[in-house]
Amino acid sequence: MRRPAKKMISLFSGAGGLDLGLAAAGFINKLCVEIDPTAQQTLALNHPKWKIALPGDIHALTPKELLRQSGLKPMELTLLAGGPPCQPFSKSGYWATGDTSRLTDPRAKTLKAYLDIVCEALPEVVLLENVKGIAYSDKDEGLQLLVNELNKINRTKQTNYQPNVIALNAVDYGVPQSRERVFIIANREGKKFDLPAPTHFAPEEVKGKGKPYLTAWDAIGDLDSDLWPGDVKPSGKWADLLPTIPEGQNYLWHTDNMGGVPLFGWRTRFWSFLLKLAKCKPSWTIQAQPGPATGPFHWKGRLLSTRELARLQTFPDNYQFVGDRRAAHMQIGNAVPPALGELFGLEIRRQFFGERVRRKLRLIPAKRNDCPLPEEPAPVPEKYLSLRGAHNAHPGTGKGPRAQKREQKE
């Protein structure tokens, strides 16, 4: 007996990371909703058969019109998937603006728009992705909004959407990158979703459990070269300090507590400042809009190329990104790793539809056994030595310059 097609609509599609993974798990994309023109072009280039909604602004596209463009009627949609812009719920946003302002951010309204579409389409499954901070504060405003709106839908539409909040780190499932995210899954009939057990572990934990973490070398080692294209040359005040940072370290190496030259105070910079990959470990989180001194950087003291960034996010090599390197970096950094989309797609089919589809993820890289020794750090250039000396450490949580400014305003 032939199984009915699993149809999906993607909201906030971006470059298509989540969509690509769900497609690899057997879902058929009926419509992508994405406002950014460059990301739209990336979607069209890689998936010419996928339909892109017009307009791409979720606030200008009514739920009825969205369904019309997808060719579906209410209750015909298998999966509504997407990750609203994460900044209002992010931990960095929490520290920068304080807790109570996050849901007044216009971007937070996208969560309500997402739920309006749930109310109209009544999909069998809702999948929402965001950073871990969506439930960061004691009040859990983002999560509470979600619960309240789903309860309204249940009362008016006789559904039983019950959100399952799933926090995970991508590295535990074969993505060669430490990337913490929250996925919220709700089934129209109220079925429970269980996160599958991790498949990959730190070297000291791996015995008898599964496979070791996949590393930066596993993902991009075959691209290692001493010949750098011009667009990966580092720039800015600290560019020449990068070669002096050992693999896997950041600016903290050059403080009194570590082994370098004391150029900075302990924890006086953000953790990704001059952060460098280690070949033998997973990558740090790929960010969407890094500054010139924001990592992770390549272990040879340069920026990561577009292809390297894409590999660390588990995009396949035939995936192309429209725009210059900066535009591509933003699209890649904003994406859900496609391998996570594949994982959730397979598990949704297995747990909610009873299909026997559990298998190894096809979008994660293969393990390599040829990882070379770490790069030797260079000496600190003379132009930075004037910074050498005693530096005050950060005074502690809530006592830094930004926190003091917030207190003065209040």
Transcribe 133-195 into DSSP letters.
Answer: GGG-SSS-HHHHHHHHHHHHHHHHH------EEEEEEGGGGT-SB--EEEEEEEETT-----P
Q: Could you give the angle at which helices 141-157 and 109-121 cross, rounded to 10 degrees?
A: 20
d(C-alpha 15, C-alpha 257), whole Å: 41
The distance from CA 115 to its chain's CA centroid, rounded to whole angstroms, is 21
Query: What is the predicted pLDDT for the residue at 130?
Result: 83
Averaged pLDDT of the chain: 90
Query: What is the predicted pLDDT for the residue at 119?
Result: 97
How far are the Cα atoms of 7, 69, 213, 265, 312 from residue 399, in angstroms, in the given order? 51, 52, 36, 15, 35
What is the sign, positive or negative, of the torsion defined by CA atoms of 286, 290, 295, 301? Answer: positive
The reply to whether 86 belongs to the active site is yes
Query: What is the predicted pLDDT for the residue at 134?
Result: 52
- Which residue bears the tokens 């389409």? 121
Banded pLDDT at 102 (limits 50, 70, 90): very low
pLDDT tens digits, 239-283: 999 999 999 999 999 999 999 999 999 999 999 999 999 999 999
Q: Among 71-85, 107-121, 313-327, whose mean pLDDT is lowest?
A: 107-121
Name, in order, each residue with C-beta under 8 angstroms of 318's C-beta and a sequence gap of 6 or more. none
The average pLDDT across 382-398 equals 91
Phi/psi region, residue 95 (left: phi>0; alpha: psi -120 to 50; beta: rest), is: alpha
Residue 94 scores a pLDDT above 90: no
What residues does each domain of the chain span? Answer: 6-203+336-353
In this structure, are residues 173 and 361 in contact, taking their beta carbons and an 8 Å threshold?
A: yes
Q: Which amino acid is at 311?
A: R
The strand pair at 125-131 and 180-187 is best described as: antiparallel
- Please list, residue by residue across 38-65, b when 16 or more beta carbons sit within 10 angstroms of its beta carbon and e when fewer do: bbbbbbbebbeebbbbeebebeebebee
Query: What is the predicted pLDDT for the residue at 397?
Result: 77
pLDDT tens digits, 306-327: 999 999 999 999 999 999 999 9
Q: Among 182-191, 310-319, 366-375, 399-408, whose mean pLDDT is lowest?
A: 399-408
CATH 3.40.50.1980 given to domain 6-203+336-353: no
pLDDT tens digits, 322-356: 999 999 999 999 999 999 999 999 999 999 999 98
The average pLDDT across 65-92 equals 82
Banded pLDDT at 111 (limits 50, 70, 90): confident
d(C-alpha 284, C-alpha 340), whole Å: 16
Query: Which residues sit opposite 169 in a β-bridge?
Result: 180
d(C-alpha 56, C-alpha 128), whole Å: 18
d(C-alpha 277, C-alpha 281), whole Å: 8
Residue 218 scores a pLDDT above 80: yes
d(C-alpha 226, C-alpha 209), whole Å: 37
Percent residues over pLDDT 70 in the chain:
88
The average pLDDT across 224-234 equals 90
The average pLDDT across 375-398 equals 93
Banded pLDDT at 410 (limits 50, 70, 90): low
The strand pair at 211-212 and 200-201 is best described as: parallel
Residue 21 scores a pLDDT above 60: yes
**Candidate list 86, 119, 280, 371, residue with the active-site label:** 86
Banded pLDDT at 100 (limits 50, 70, 90): very low
Banded pLDDT at 16 (limits 50, 70, 90): very high
Transcribe 289-358 into DSSP letters.
Answer: S--TTBSPBPTTSSPPPHHHHHHHTT--TT----S-HHHHHHHHHHSPPHHHHHHHHHHHHHHHH-----
Q: Among 160-169, 182-191, 297-306, 392-401, whose mean pLDDT is lowest?
A: 392-401
Residue 408 scores a pLDDT above 70: no
